[in-house]
Every structure is written in structure tokens, then in C-alpha cells.
């Protein structure tokens, strides 16, 4: 466990979509990734958006909204398991996202499982046309930063990172690391997420971590193809990598990659950067507020 609050080691998962024989088999695969992250000293591990969807093939004769409703019945079990793993391995787990059914609707949500045992929920606010038309998923209404033992973080699920207002609101709340679990089906969708995630790192003066899925899964509708290259993006200024990328995976290969980020560099950037995107906003001319 890292005892320096400025130096943070982050693991991000490039997950292979595959047909697991059982829920237990998927959980065992997850445990192996968490164990590797723990053994290599990670403070955080990030999983992708909707990574449990392979389990739909275990639910016979279901498609569309019925399938995602049935899949949501597994979510409590996964959250409980992630919480146990966070406590056991002393690692903060960002669970990607999973469907939940509450108040009569299905939402796309995830959880921050802190290594001290706390659990906090985040929601996808902007739902893609495919999610809504094929599964009937609805957007949530919660956006906030999370205080962790290794700094203040935010989470935006996939499409949400394409709306710069959300990142800016989190930055105004003190966010230092933004986690973005995503699921994209082709290079165009992936590039939208990647480019916007990198932009958030520059304009919000933070680190941005993305985690996605790869592989073909023809047996599950809306998950037939998955395209991914995961990475950790940095601001673009002195003291940061020239390409503003701390680390990135290969393309469409299952991997767990690690990056070390220095929170002290963010404070220096805020106060002494070549440009100061947060401080030099023309708030006399425009403003942003959460309703």
C-alpha cells in the first residue's frame, strides 16, 4: 500500500468480452486481476463499462429490456464481492458499470469500493441511443466527487465524458483523477471517448484513466464487437509526458496496465503552468452551474 499521498499508482483493465461458464468463473477472473494489481502496489483499479454483459448468455430466452433487467439481478452480488476484495487486498476499486433496476427503471451505474470498506455509487447521466432503444436504460441524476485516501476523484461513464460541462463541474469540486469506464463497438466510437478523455485532462488539469473492453461476443445482442485501447492521460505542460500519455495498452488485447501519477504536479500546474485553464476562465463573461 502506497503511503505517499502525492504518488498514486493506478491499474486499468482492458477486459476481454468472453462467455464465462458461470458467475463464479467471472468472479475468479476478476479476482486474478485485483490480485495482480495489489501485488504490483496499485492504489486504484478501474474496470470497464457493462463488463458483466457476457452473463446474459446464462439467462435463457431473454433479449432486449428483459435481458438487461435479468442481468441487473447479479449486480448486488458483484458489488458485495468487489467490496470484500477492496477490504481484503487494501485497494480502491472503481467497478466500471453494471445495470441496476430501481424506482421502476434500469440505470447504468458503478461503485467506488474504498479499501476502508466504504461504498459510494455513481451514475451514467447521458444514455446512448442504442442503450435506450435496445435495453430501455435511463439516465441518472447524480454527479459528485469522491474523497479517497489517495486524493479526490470523479467518475464519468463512457458517453458522459463527451460532455465537457460534467468534467468541469467535477474539477470545480477539486477532482484530481477522473476515471472513465467505457464500452465502444468500433474505432469511431472509441476515438470519441479517447479524444474527449484526453481533452478533459488538459482543460480540467487532472489525470484521466480509461478502461474498456475488447473481443467479439456474437451471442449477446448489442455486444457483438468491442474495440479498446486503455490509457492514462495527463495534462499537457512542463513536467508531464510530451504526448500527454502516462501509459497505454496495446490495441484490442486483454491487459492490465499500470501508471504512476504525481498529484503534486497538478498543484504546480494550477499555480505555475504555462497556461492555467481553470484560473484563467472568463467568469466575468460566462459561467457554469449545476441546477
Residues involved in catalysis: 49, 124, 158
d(CA 78, CA 52): 9
The DSSP letter of residue 165 is H
End-to-end CA distance of the chain: 39
The residue whose grid cell reads 461503485 is 111
Q: Which residues contact 283 (CB under 8 A, 6 or more apart)?
A: none
Return d(Cα 278, Cα 71) in angstroms, integer. 41
Cα–Cα distance list, 228 to 1, 17, 73, 103, 175 (Å): 29, 11, 27, 33, 25
Q: For residue 140, give the 3-state DSSP assignment.
A: coil
Helix (H, G, I), strand (E, B) or coil at 193: helix
SS3 at position 10: strand
Q: Helix, strand, or coil here: 77?
A: helix
At which residue does the C-alpha cell 496496465 appear?
257
Amino acid at each position: 500500500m502506497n503511503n505517499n499521498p502525492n504518488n498514486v499508482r493506478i491499474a486499468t483493465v482492458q477486459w476481454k468480452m468472453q462467455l464465462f461458464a458461470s458467475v463464479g468463473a467471472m468472479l475468479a477472473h476478476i479476482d486474478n486481476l485485483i490480485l495482480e494489481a495489489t501485488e504490483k502496489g496499485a492504489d486504484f483499479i478501474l474496470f470497464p463499462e457493462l463488463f458483466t454483459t457476457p452473463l446474459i448468455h446464462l439467462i435463457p430466452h431473454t433479449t432486449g429490456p428483459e435481458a438487461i433487467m435479468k442481468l441487473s439481478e447479479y449486480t448486488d452480488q458483484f458489488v458485495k464481492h468487489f467490496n470484500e476484495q477492496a477490504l481484503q487486498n487494501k485497494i480502491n476499486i472503481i467497478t466500471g458499470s453494471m445495470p441496476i433496476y430501481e424506482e421502476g427503471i434500469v440505470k447504468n451505474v458503478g461503485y467506488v469500493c474504498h479499501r476502508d470498506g466504504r461504498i459510494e455509487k455513481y451514475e451514467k447521466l447521458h444514455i446512448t441511443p442504442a442503450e435506450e432503444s435496445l435495453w430501455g436504460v435511463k439516465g441518472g441524476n447524480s454527479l459528485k466527487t469522491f474523497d479517497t485516501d489517495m486524493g479526490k476523484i470523479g467518475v464519468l461513464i463512457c458517453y458522459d465524458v463527451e460532455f465537457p460541462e460534467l468534467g468541469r463541474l467535477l474539477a470545480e469540486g477539486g477532482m484530481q483523477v477522473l476515471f472513465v469506464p467505457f464500452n465502444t463497438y468500433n474505432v469511431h466510437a472509441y476515438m470519441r471517448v479517447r479524444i474527449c478523455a484526453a481533452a478533459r485532462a488538459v482543460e480540467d488539469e487532472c489525470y484521466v484513466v480509461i478502461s474498456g473492453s475488447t473481443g467479439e461476443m456474437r451471442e449477446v445482442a448489442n455486444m457483438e464487437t468491442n474495440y479498446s485501447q486503455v490509457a492514462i492521460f495527463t495534462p499537457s505542460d512542463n513536467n508531464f509526458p510530451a504526448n500527454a500519455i502516462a501509459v497505454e495498452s496495446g490495441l484490442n488485447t486483454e491487459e492490465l496496465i499500470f501508471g504512476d501519477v504525481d498529484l503534486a504536479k497538478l498543484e504546480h500546474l494550477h499555480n505555475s503552468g504555462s497556461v492555467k485553464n481553470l484560473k484563467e476562465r472568463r467568469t466575468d463573461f460566462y459561467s457554469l452551474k449545476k441546477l
